[in-house]
Amino acid sequence: MEKNYQFRTRMDQVHKPGVRDLAAVPAADETVIDENWVISFDGSAPASVVDTAKDLQDYFLVSMGMELKLAPGEKKGIYLEISKDVTGDGTFVLTVTEDAVKISASGDRGVHFGGVYLEDIMNLREAPFLKHGTEKRERLITPRIVHSGWGIDKFPDAHLNAILHAGFDAITIFIKDIDLTQTGYLDINDVIFRAAKYGIDTYLYSYLPAYKHPDDPDADKFFENVYTRLLNYHKGVRGVMLVGESAVFPSKDPATTGRRSGENDPGDNRPCPGYWPCTDYPAWITKVRDAIRKAIPDAKVIFNTYNWGWTDLEVRKRFLKNLPEGVIIQVTFDIFSKIQRENLPCVAMDYTASVCKPGYYFDSECHAAAEYGVPLLSTANTAGMTWDFGDIPYVPVPQQWIRRFKELDRFRRECGLTRFYDCHHYGWWPSVITEVGKWYFQSPQCDPDEMLGRLAVRMAGKEGAPHLLAAWNFWSDAIPHLPSTNEDQYGPLRVGPSYPLIFGPSITRTMASREIKFPTAPHAHFGYRIIKTLYQPFENINQPAGGIRFPVELRELATFLDLWDKGLAAYEKAVAAAPERKRAELETELNLGRFIRCSATTCRNVKQWWLLNQELLISSDKKRSLELLDKLEALALAEIENARSAIPFVEKDSRLGWEPSMEYVCDKWHIDWKIDQTTRVVKNEIGDFRTILNLAK
């Protein structure tokens, strides 16, 4: 049983104990590292190279059970060097002979990556055995940018080290002003300095107020006061990320309101400028770019276009064609992808693992950008997390993720897509998904399916691996059946079994809104603001109405749950067949799988709850209304039991029920809150409505 936030202790432990298989026997072409070896480096090596040596020393001690000494100033054993013979930022060469191992790189960044790679090889081998030979490895995707998985904008050294070991090379911080984030004060220069020690770049995700038209006579001074001033203080920043919804300006494009979101006149249905590729947006971006580069000449400027991915291609192409030179366009892989559910054309409304092929927006935007020579970055979510289940560490569907990896690699080859935004503010967690991605998105590339099989053997042993692969495959087949709608991703799937049930009929003397303010911590970045408790379909012109969709989505959820249950059964076999020393890690993921089942069950129950309430609201037949009340009561009681069954899962793993920007939304306290709320609905509101119905004779 874990207390809240105790998951951070597990996440901070980059080197796992018990990795070594003491029964492993080296092959004839393998070098065996033993305690007579040392880790060496040049006496004048920078501190970051020494840090890599110390990290390797800790790895051998914790994971391999061996104490290797450091030997500064010598060139023997495992030798780390910066060499002019190696070119490419982050590129390294690993040479293994019978009595020596050498990592050579053009800079300390490559040495870092080489040290992690050395660990990865031995982790797969489950022994300190290295195959003879020389290989050069370079990153196919860089940067790979992540938010913190430890806490919103929180980057202690241990977490930076975990980010490095997971294969990422950049972080991003929400920024409102100098040393000011959405959650308050942060010494950003300290984060930049400490991240650089691990070979990690820092980007700023802009929440900066820049409501100014580029044609205004004081525009240059305005933008310099916002961006140049900020970046003169934070000189170590690698780049700035901009997104339309956070970068609204008073556009003069008549296709828009020209105002901030929520400020339009009644009846004006035109989009806010942040949600439309305005004709004057390129001029605004030019001003921002120039102000940024006045402080940092080589800063990366990234602009996200997903807010208007729904618009016509020609309108989007006009924007791309007029984009100023040197701006990187960020394109989201999954959003707006078409999803066929039985006979209904549906669409992915936000980040989801339910689609493995991109939709028209991503495909057309990437090819148009390539046509105009615009560099690309993708919101790829390749850290393994989406909004499908908003308060879990990752979505354990590796075969589905591999399908996405292959599609992204196709766009790398076709359109020059070589940069990833690997997660949004829901963060990341080290998992089999991050491991496969780390191996696949570097050259020479692995076969990701073959790599998944090797990782399964490492995790569950030869006897357990087939069952583990089968479990993951059932889950990967299940995920396309999960709804990816706004009402579900902002509702029951966002928080899971702590989601409340609100009774449809409004029994009130105050005529207040039925929406419940979901209880979240006051310091949360978003908290309750991204949770909609009054469940209802959020209609969209791209998909059928909720009343038509919901019965189909309920059948889809039934398929999801059936496949998920088959995966759980296979996973239980994997745990039983695995060696004892491997079971704890497997049981943690099995626990995650069980929590996901509870969350999907809540989604199904909430959808049924809405349909029954809608029928009740328009029913003019007393007998039918009383029958509906009985069904609602039975459904509420079933959901209470589903919520109660999730308590052991969240108590075992404190990462479940937590998300960095919301903080805890489904720990035991929140589940108890939901049980109390739903119990009151049954005892009070449903009971009172029976009384109301019985007034009619």
Pick the CATH number of 144-459 from 3.20.20, 3.30.70, 3.40.50, 3.40.1620: 3.20.20
- The token duo for 221 is 């001074």
| pLDDT tens per residue across span 513-553 | 999 999 999 999 999 999 999 999 999 888 999 999 999 99
- CA 68 – CA 362 distance, rounded (Å): 49
Asked whether residue 261 carries a pLDDT value surpassing 90, the answer given is: no
User: For residue 361, what pLDDT is reported?
Assistant: 95
Asked whether residue 512 carries a pLDDT value surpassing 90, the answer given is: no
Distance of CA 83 to the CA centre of its chain: 36
**Choice between 609 and 263, residue whose per-residue pLDDT is larger:** 609
Average pLDDT over residues 659-664: 98
User: For residue 509, what pLDDT is reported?
Assistant: 83
| pLDDT tens per residue across span 619-629 | 999 999 999 99
User: For residue 200, what pLDDT is reported?
Assistant: 97
- CA 489 – CA 467 distance, rounded (Å): 30
Asked whether residue 179 carries a pLDDT value surpassing 90, the answer given is: yes
Confidence of residue 135 (pLDDT cuts 50, 70, 90): very high
In 3D space, the residue among 556, 549, 608 whose CA is nearest the CA of residue 345 turns out to be 549
Q: Which of helix, strand or coil describes residue 190? A: helix
- CB–CB of 533/503 below 8 Å? no
| pLDDT tens per residue across span 367-413 | 999 999 999 999 999 999 999 999 999 999 999 999 999 999 999 99
User: For residue 445, what pLDDT is reported?
Assistant: 97
The highest-level CATH class for domain 14-137 is alpha beta
Average pLDDT over residues 10-14: 96
Asked whether residue 583 carries a pLDDT value surpassing 90, the answer given is: yes
Phi/psi of residue 610, nearest 5 degrees:
-65, -45
Confidence of residue 94 (pLDDT cuts 50, 70, 90): very high
Residues facing 135 on adjacent strands: 94
- CB–CB of 273/257 below 8 Å? yes
Percent of the chain with pLDDT over 70: 100
- The token duo for 54 is 């110390």
Give the predicted TM-score (pTM) of the model. 0.96
Average pLDDT over residues 637-647: 98
Average pLDDT over residues 309-335: 96
| pLDDT tens per residue across span 26-55 | 999 999 999 999 999 998 999 999 999 999
* CA contacts within 13 A on the Cβ side of 376: 30
User: For residue 138, what pLDDT is reported?
Assistant: 97
Average per-residue pLDDT in the chain? 96
User: For residue 156, what pLDDT is reported?
Assistant: 98
Q: What is the DSSP string of 136-187?
A: EEEESS--EEE--SSSTT---HHHHHHHHHTT--EEEEEESBTTEETTEE--
In 3D space, the residue among 331, 375, 374, 370 whose CA is nearest the CA of residue 351 turns out to be 331
Residues facing 137 on adjacent strands: 92
Any idea which residue has 């089999």 for tokens?
432
Residues facing 138 on adjacent strands: 443
User: For residue 17, what pLDDT is reported?
Assistant: 95
Asked whether residue 265 carries a pLDDT value surpassing 90, the answer given is: no
Confidence of residue 267 (pLDDT cuts 50, 70, 90): confident
* CA contacts within 13 A on the Cβ side of 113: 29
**Choice between 541 and 647, residue whose per-residue pLDDT is larger:** 647
Q: What is the DSSP string of 451-508?
A: HHHHHHHHHHHHHHHHHHHHHHHHHHHHGGGS---HHHHTTHHHHGGG-----SS---
Any idea which residue has 């400028």 for tokens?
273
Domain ranges of the chain: 14-137, 144-459, 475-693
Asked whether residue 219 carries a pLDDT value surpassing 90, the answer given is: yes
User: For residue 70, what pLDDT is reported?
Assistant: 97
Asked which of 3-7, 42-46, 117-121, 656-660 is least confident by mean pLDDT, the reply is 42-46
What does the DSSP 8-state code read for residue 274? G
Other C-beta atoms closer than 10 Å to the C-beta of 318 total 16
- CA 229 – CA 390 distance, rounded (Å): 36
- CB–CB of 448/405 below 8 Å? yes
- The token duo for 349 is 């409304």
- CA 74 – CA 41 distance, rounded (Å): 6
Angle between helices 583-618 and 546-577 in degrees, nearest 10: 160
Confidence of residue 182 (pLDDT cuts 50, 70, 90): confident
Confidence of residue 75 (pLDDT cuts 50, 70, 90): very high
- CB–CB of 98/54 below 8 Å? no
Asked which of 45-49, 134-138, 445-449 is least confident by mean pLDDT, the reply is 45-49
Strand arrangement of the beta sheet that strand 38-41 belongs to: 69-72, 38-41, 78-82, 101-105, 92-96, 133-139, 442-443
| pLDDT tens per residue across span 416-445 | 999 999 999 999 999 999 999 999 999 999
- CA 144 – CA 242 distance, rounded (Å): 17
Any idea which residue has 């493995």 for tokens?
356
In total, the chain counts a number of residues equal to 697
Average pLDDT over residues 269-276: 93
What does the DSSP 8-state code read for residue 86? -
Asked whether residue 252 carries a pLDDT value surpassing 90, the answer given is: yes
- What type of residue is 420? F
- What type of residue is 607? K
Confidence of residue 209 (pLDDT cuts 50, 70, 90): confident
| pLDDT tens per residue across span 495-505 | 999 999 999 99
- CB–CB of 294/228 below 8 Å? yes
